[in-house]
Amino acid sequence: MSAVLLWLAAPLLLLPMVARRDRLGAAAGQLIVAGLGLAALLQGAGSLDPRDLREIANQSSGGAWFVGITVGALITGACLLPDIRHWRSRLVAAPLLIGLVLSVTVHAALALVLGGLIGCLPATLGRSSGGGTPAGPPAHGASAYRRPASLLLGGVTIVMAAAGPALLAAVAWCALGWHEWQGLRTARGARTMPILPAAGTLLVGVWTWLALTIAASPLVGLRAFATDAPVSPAAGEWLALLAIGWGIAMTAPWPLDRLADVRVQLPVAAVVLYLAVACATPDGVAHWQPLLSVILVPVAIVAAASRRWDGAAAALLLLAATRPGPGTLAAALVVALAPAGRRLAPSDRLRSGAAGVGVALLVATLLRDQVLLAVILALGLAVLANRHDHVVAPA
């Protein structure tokens, strides 16, 4: 497999660093469109070499339409728009633009024009929709990241999930959830019902009991569960469903995000969910992924449109962490760190770049089994990125 276009697209990572400060959302949108287009070419054509793409376009009309539409969308959405007059942004996109021009032939001219019009949609719709809706509730600031007990519990949970028994990982995970709920209750200064930590603890308890019963050992680990435990297809589906349930309760995607403060939990959840779902029961979670994707994609888009950034990050994390593969874990970690980046990152350019790269990685993995939903997610978030100053807004 040749990845020439991927290497030519590498300078796009500098886009948030050189873009105008009032177009950082547009830069994140360009990264999202680039991730979608390159992943589509790789999955559909099996290569990112301009010579291979030209050959595919010459072989059949279907190949010409596929290559032309995808390349056209990349040219306008990832290289030319939305800030065509800013020479620094065009400079970092120039290598990819040259490679894309060399990837098409005259047979794909009409498809190229159609793809170019599609690539214009994120910038056009984003600009025409104005500045968006009012922001969500005020953030609690960065105090959660300065509580030593929170960071200690998060670190212990990750270590137990990666190298320790599943039983200890479950105990540490529940302890972290209750500790963060206590911090939220103290910050709000009012009576707060522990709805999500209670539901999460119940589901974690049932999951742990079922998993240890199947493994017939209290010392089985999450990483070795798939090989050491005789999991039947039905049991795998139940374990995956329970894990998805406590994952939702402990990450609080929109509209549950106002019931919890999960900023510290999200990076931990990325690792724990990946090991408990994608690694321990990959066949079981595959049964639920279509339904889960249909629910989480609109949830992420609506949360981002409402500027409920933590709820959007939680939905994107659940989409990524429930899919196998190292790329999905990287995407889950990037989007899980977005709430921390909102409050701690000194540079809004860094926040914009991380948001674009994280969503691009997620879209590339989602495209493997949910093509339509991946396109909807990418274009929807790219439109919203152009609509706001930047995707991951400051606190």
Cα separation, 184 vs 201, in Å, equals 17
DSSP-derived secondary structure letter, 222? T
Query: Is there a domain that residue 370 lies in?
Result: no
Domain identity same for 159 and 303: yes
Query: Is there a domain that residue 221 lies in?
Result: yes
Query: Is there a domain that residue 282 lies in?
Result: yes
C-alpha distance from residue 361 to each of 275, 317, 324 (Å): 19, 12, 13
Q: Is the pLDDT of residue 295 over 90?
A: yes
> Which of 344, 365, 390 delimits the end of a domain?
344
Query: Is there a domain that residue 372 lies in?
Result: no
Average pLDDT over the chain, rounded to an integer: 83
Domain identity same for 150 and 119: no
Mean pLDDT of 31-40: 91
Query: Is there a domain that residue 362 lies in?
Result: no
pLDDT class for 394, splitting at 50, 70, 90?
very low
Mean pLDDT of 231-237: 87
Domain total in the chain: 2
Q: Is the pLDDT of residue 82 over 80?
A: no
More confident residue, 297 or 327: 297
C-alpha distance from residue 256 to each of 41, 72, 86 (Å): 36, 39, 40
Domain identity same for 258 and 329: yes
Q: Is the pLDDT of residue 58 over 50?
A: yes
Cα separation, 125 vs 384, in Å, equals 9
The answer to whether the CB of 230 falls within 8 A of the CB of 217 is no
Helix-, strand-, coil-residue percentages of the chain, each rounded to 5: 75, 0, 20
More confident residue, 326 or 9: 9
More confident residue, 191 or 44: 44
Query: Is there a domain that residue 119 lies in?
Result: yes
pLDDT class for 376, splitting at 50, 70, 90?
very high
Q: Domain limits at 229?
A: 145-344
pTM given for the model: 0.86
Q: Is the pLDDT of residue 166 over 90?
A: no
Domain identity same for 203 and 118: no
C-alpha distance from residue 277 to each of 201, 282, 359, 371 (Å): 17, 6, 21, 22
Query: Is there a domain that residue 88 lies in?
Result: yes
Domain identity same for 116 and 167: no
Q: How buried is 23 (Cβ within 10 angstroms: 0-12 exposed, 13-18 middle, 19+ buried)?
A: buried
Residue-level pLDDT at 374: 93
Residue-level pLDDT at 23: 79
pLDDT class for 83, splitting at 50, 70, 90?
low
Domain identity same for 81 and 183: no
